[in-house]
Structure 1
């Protein structure tokens, strides 16, 4: 049953019931007011005829018939529609005019307020007044002013019939009004239902737009991850990936439902994006690992076949083959670790980010690099504290690969590498530079070195170290580039990361994170 029909039926049932209940409360009040009005009329009639009644009683007590007749006419003129009965002191009825009970009916003898007298199924309201012919009360009598009590009852019954008539009329009228009002009120709901019904779950999900302080930007730019995050409680009017926009209708309940539906679809699309991204990452990881592991695995197989085919191999040759096996094993382990780390960076979520002291992290990683490369010399120049909003494991990965790259490729001839690390905060950015005295990188190759599996012929690494650096820089809304140190020789890797700003909008991760899935990276 439609909501408008339900509302119409409820209105048709409730409104007449309310009318009847109001009538039940109103009828006793109306009856009481009518009786009070009738009693006031009796008092007014008694006051009007009382002077003539006194004169009538006095004329009767003195035996003056003509005067008595004159007073009777005056009483009749003043009685109007009320019944009047006058009795002498001895009970003799002197005057009986207007509607009243039969003479045999017993009327109240004691004066007081109006009382009800029933006679043959008919009720009368009777007001009793003691009348004195003189100031001393001698030759007195009794005055009764009366009227049918059923008049008030008839008026009350008429009111009751009108209440029932109004209740009967109110049923269809309230149903019609309720239906019209409900139809109008549910128009936004029907519009919302039609729009929601047109959504296709199989349709491709559009990525959420990312807007930085200076406008839209790509994932690698400084503002690439600065905007409104859907997971951080995106607004009710934010567009969902399926194209559903919560429009305001002016009806609070409908607006709340529309906003909840838009938020639900936005979260659904976000989860769908995450799932698709995780599947793509897993497929790319498998593909890249199988492709890159083919060569070292073949080398391992060849060396193992040699050892198996020549059990009497000289000790020197056997030691050389075993050393090659260890190198291949190390290369395999490094490659798998780097690919796993790259995939981890593609799948990290915003809730893993927090305030990190980059200066403390840089000093700790420099000390760790010194332990891993004991022949290299590391010098760190950093202020007391430089805080960024970042993913601490990712920043450690970036620093470890920056320092490891400088330690391996920063040697000057046969001299061990001397690496200088500087960290400073300037113009809203944290500037990190890593200088070495190695051969450097030709300007034509400086962009290519950040691609996956790009390495020199003599490089012992997996070719993913600087790719991880570029990935983490982009993930933290920063940039990385290769330049030449001020001395003119060697290599400088320069990383810029944005510093937190109080006036900045909510942080969002880059819309595109495909460092392991994109074939060209």
Structure 2
């Protein structure tokens, strides 16, 4: 694989080659044409001299031919009346290049009208050997100069290309030999591409580090979560196994067997609720990485939660004190789990017989409150109850300790917070705040 420096040098050499090749071809043609024009000038001069005294020119043709400088043939009416040693063939007026024997000639033929006699055709030729030699020599010099120019351009491309790509080389060195998060400040200063690449690498490394931190945090949370969940599930499972072994090993009266079975069912129900809560917490963690907020009517959601809770707790009066609509931007399933867990917590652990759900606008937030008339939550436990697997002093034995952790998780996902205070109904008040920024295009609730 070629380095960038080599590519720059080759590109420079290729560009120089194209330009030099065009110049060499043009200059070579111009040199050849110029030498031919020089021969034509000599022919024109000689023709003019012959025309001055065409009748006496024949006396000297032999000597001229023997000298080899020119070849001349005079014709009158197509008949040769005089010629040098080398006789030229009949040709039409004009210039041409002819090969006679082993010699190439540049020939000019011209017909003149004399005062005495008929038209006289003069054919004059000069050998092209000397001009060809000069042409080849000049063309070779031009070609040699062009090759030298291409090689020089390639060498300069290599030298200057090294300086041009130096910022990229330095950037590569810093990344390959530096720490996992190298300091790229100032790298590529003065070179736009290097600066852009440095900024892109910094941004990429930042995203990678952020993703690694998230992955590490998620793994640490998963380890802690799995360890705590295993501990929390081990106790009821051990108790269930003990009850089942007692039933298998002892011939118990029917009343005791029913009591043990009821205890196993209660523990099984607790395990099922714990697993459900764990599943909801895991779903919340997934939603944290891929939020899917939509516009939903919070009051309609509260009405649905109240109706469902009334079926499960027929002795409890559950009311919604705010009229719809109240559109919010959030996770519908998450907000529903907040309402369900708040009601369940009030009834199961607070022994409430009345629950009131209200909501109101407050600055850039919507404040959702769930009041009950139960036993309430001691002041020193109002923050602790949001921890995972924490059970308050008033908690029911079959609780999982995860319901309020789900509420805290959803508050975080909705850029809000959740906390407990005393309720005017005599029990506890759960306050859940969530962000109220709804884009204008999503004003209509789903």
What is the TM-score normalised by the length of structure 2? Answer: 0.76
**Structure 2 partner of 1:3:** 3
**Structure 1 partner of 2:176:** 197
Post-superposition offset of 1:473? 0.6
**Structure 2 partner of 1:174:** 153
**Structure 2 partner of 1:432:** 368
**Structure 1 partner of 2:411:** 473
Name the CA shift for 1:28/1:112 in 2 (closer, same or farther; >3 Å).
farther
Post-superposition offset of 1:161? 1.0
Alignment size in residue pairs: 423
**Structure 2 partner of 1:506:** none
1:464 to 397, 402, 406: 402
Cα distance between partner residues in 1 of 2:334 and 2:177: 41
**Structure 1 partner of 2:106:** 125
**Structure 2 partner of 1:454:** 391
**Structure 1 partner of 2:51:** 53
**Structure 1 partner of 2:66:** none
Cα distance between partner residues in 2 of 1:346 and 1:117: 95
1:165 to 103, 127, 144: 144
Higher helix share goes to which structure? 2
Q: Deviations over 1:11-55 (max 9, x none)?
A: 6985786578446743663366336634763585378x37x835x
- Indicate conservation of the 8 Å contact 1:389/1:499, yes or no: no
**Residue segments in structure 1 that go unaligned for 5+ positions in a row:** 61-67, 73-81, 94-101, 202-241, 504-521
Q: Counterpart of 1:106 in 2: which secondary structure?
A: coil
**Residue segments in structure 2 that go unaligned for 5+ positions in a row:** 60-68, 441-446
Post-superposition offset of 1:421? 1.9
Answering whether residue 122 of structure 2 is matched by residue 185 of structure 1, we say no
Post-superposition offset of 1:331? 2.3
> Following superposition of structure 1 onto structure 2, how do residues 107-256 of structure 1 map, counting pairs within 5 Å?
107=88, 109-119=90-100, 121-134=102-115, 138=117, 140-144=119-123, 146-170=125-149, 172-199=151-178, 242-243=181-182
**Structure 1 partner of 2:421:** 483
Cα distance between partner residues in 2 of 1:169 and 1:423: 86
**Structure 1 partner of 2:341:** 401
Post-superposition offset of 1:357? 1.2
> Following superposition of structure 1 onto structure 2, how do residues 5-154 of structure 1 map, counting pairs within 5 Å?
6-7=6-7, 10=10, 14=14, 18=18, 21-22=21-22, 25-26=25-26, 29-30=29-30, 33-34=33-34, 37-38=37-38, 41=41, 45=45, 49=48, 53=51, 56-57=53-54, 87=74, 89=76, 103-107=84-88, 109-119=90-100, 121-134=102-115, 138=117, 140-144=119-123, 146-154=125-133
**Structure 1 partner of 2:293:** 354
1:365 to 305, 309, 314: 305
What is the TM-score normalised by the length of structure 1? Answer: 0.67
Q: Counterpart of 2:290 in 1: which secondary structure?
A: helix
Name the CA shift for 1:243/1:501 in 2 (closer, same or farther; >3 Å).
farther
Cα distance between partner residues in 2 of 1:501 and 1:21: 68
Name the CA shift for 1:370/1:41 in 2 (closer, same or farther; >3 Å).
farther
User: Cα RMSD (Å) of the superposition?
Assistant: 4.1
> Following superposition of structure 1 onto structure 2, how do residues 275-424 of structure 1 map, counting pairs within 5 Å?
275-297=215-237, 299-300=239-240, 303-304=243-244, 307=247, 311-313=251-253, 315-359=254-298, 360-380=300-320, 381-384=322-325, 386-390=327-331, 392-409=332-349, 411=351, 416-417=353-354, 419-424=355-360
- Indicate conservation of the 8 Å contact 1:107/1:117, yes or no: no
Cα distance between partner residues in 1 of 2:335 and 2:289: 14
**Structure 2 partner of 1:213:** none
**Structure 2 partner of 1:229:** none
